[in-house]
Amino acid sequence: MLIDNHNRTINYLRLAVTDRCNLRCNYCMPSEGINFAKRDSVFTIDELCLVAEILVGQGIEKIRITGGEPFVRKDLMVLLRHLTTLKGLNDISVTTNATLIGPHIDELKQLGINNINVSLDAINRGTFEKITRRNQYDTVHNNLIRLISEGFNVRINFIVLEGQNEQDILPILRLMKHYPVSVRFLEEMPFNGGSKTFQKIKWDYKAILAHITEAFPNYRKLESPATSTSINYQIEGHKSTFGLIPSFSRTFCGSCNRLRITATGDVITCLYGKPKANLREMVRGGNPREKVAQTILATLGSRAKTGFEAQNEHEKVFDKSMTSIGG
């Protein structure tokens, strides 16, 4: 079992499989991209399988595959197939921009990988193309509709960006009201690879809720697990639900149950903190599994209680891009 120094059980791993991406979302990275990791400093699929096995052996019950864009890796399905064989792993999910998932939808269904988070920050084509700096609107739209109609448990991640997509908040709720999906509005964080800095945001979770309340005053709050990062609601008469994720306000840190491993092997115990160890060299150096497991456990012995505390671990907290951390 993985327990941190604040007595929190860690049973959720966010595993990044690449830092590369075929989109250039302007809140995530600069238009020219970032200094992507060299290929040989990124975990191979065999190494990812091994790391996942070790962590599941230590009590990880849920793995979310993220990136960069996970599906830019041609061998991603090899990892996903392996994950479905791991005893004790109850929940495998993927966060994707939905541009490249199409050819894999049938197999994902067969494997029972049902939980797919799709990042979609606009329903208007022009807004989508401006934010992502690419023209993948039709592909994303078609894949999203397919995932929903094939019965996947789809959650849409919508980052609310001042001056860019606030006019789509209500339309996306109206559009999704007929479908059993969850639309989650996230606060923007300054992890954009140095594109811009900010100390405060206009669209915090309270402002988003106030905006929704004006148009849809009749909604109810839903029960959510204690470790959930989203506060969830359902509007009267809507099949969909919506959620607010205070990722910038950080109101949920106290019950955090997650660990992150980047595509290059860094162990990150808090999104806002410094990496605590690197597993890639350990795995490549032929260290026994027990030693890798001990290193992981040791990183949890000095885990910051909150993101605000973790931020003090280093000065350059906001230099990074979310594509290297995994979201």
Kindly state whether residue 29 participates in binding ligand SF4, applying the rule CB under 6 A: yes
CB of residue 216 vs ligand SF4: minimum separation in angstroms?
Answer: 27
Q: Which stretch binds ligand SAM (CB under 6 A): 65-73, 163-171, 207-215, 220-228?
A: 65-73
The reply on whether position 69 binds ligand SAM by CB under 6 A is yes
When binding is defined by CB under 6 A, the residue of 16, 25, 54, 270 that contacts ligand SF4 is 25
Pick from 68, 265, 273, 307 the residue near ligand SF4 by CB under 6 A: 68
Residue type, 80: L
Check residue 2 and report its DSSP letter: -
Residue 34: exposure state from Cβ atoms within 10 A (0-12, 13-18, ≥19): buried
Q: How many residues bind ligand SAM (CB under 6 A)?
A: 22
CB of 96 to ligand SF4, least distance (A): 8
| Whole-number Å distance between alpha carbons of 106 and 159 | 28
CB atoms within 10 A of CB 244: 24
Nearer to ligand SAM, 66 or 241 (CB): 66
The helix (run of H) or strand (run of E) holding residue 148 is: helix 137-149
- Binding to ligand SF4 in span 114-133, by CB under 6 A: 119
The reply to whether 161 sits near ligand SF4 by the rule CB under 6 A is no
Only segment of 64-72, 229-237, 251-259, 292-300 that touches ligand SAM (CB under 6 A): 64-72
Pairing of strands 241-245, 231-235: antiparallel
Contacting residue, 132, 182, 192, 262, with ligand SAM by CB under 6 A: 192
Q: Is residue 327 near ligand SAM by the rule CB under 6 A? A: yes
Please give the distance of CA 3 from its chain centroid, rounded to a whole number.
22
79: closest CA among 130, 149, 16, 33? 16
Over the Cα atoms of the chain, what is R_g?
19
Residue 24 interacts with which of ligand SF4, ligand SAM, none, CB < 5 to 8 Å by class: ligand SF4
Say if residues 12 and 259 touch (Cβ distance below 8 Å): yes
Which of 152, 179, 47 is closest to 92 using CA atoms?
Answer: 152
Neighbouring C-beta atoms of residue 141, cutoff 10 Å: 15
296 binds, among ligand SF4, ligand SAM, none (CB under 5 to 8 A by kind): none
In the complex, which residues of this chain contact ligand SF4 (CB under 6 A)? 21, 23-25, 28-29, 67-69, 97, 119, 322-323
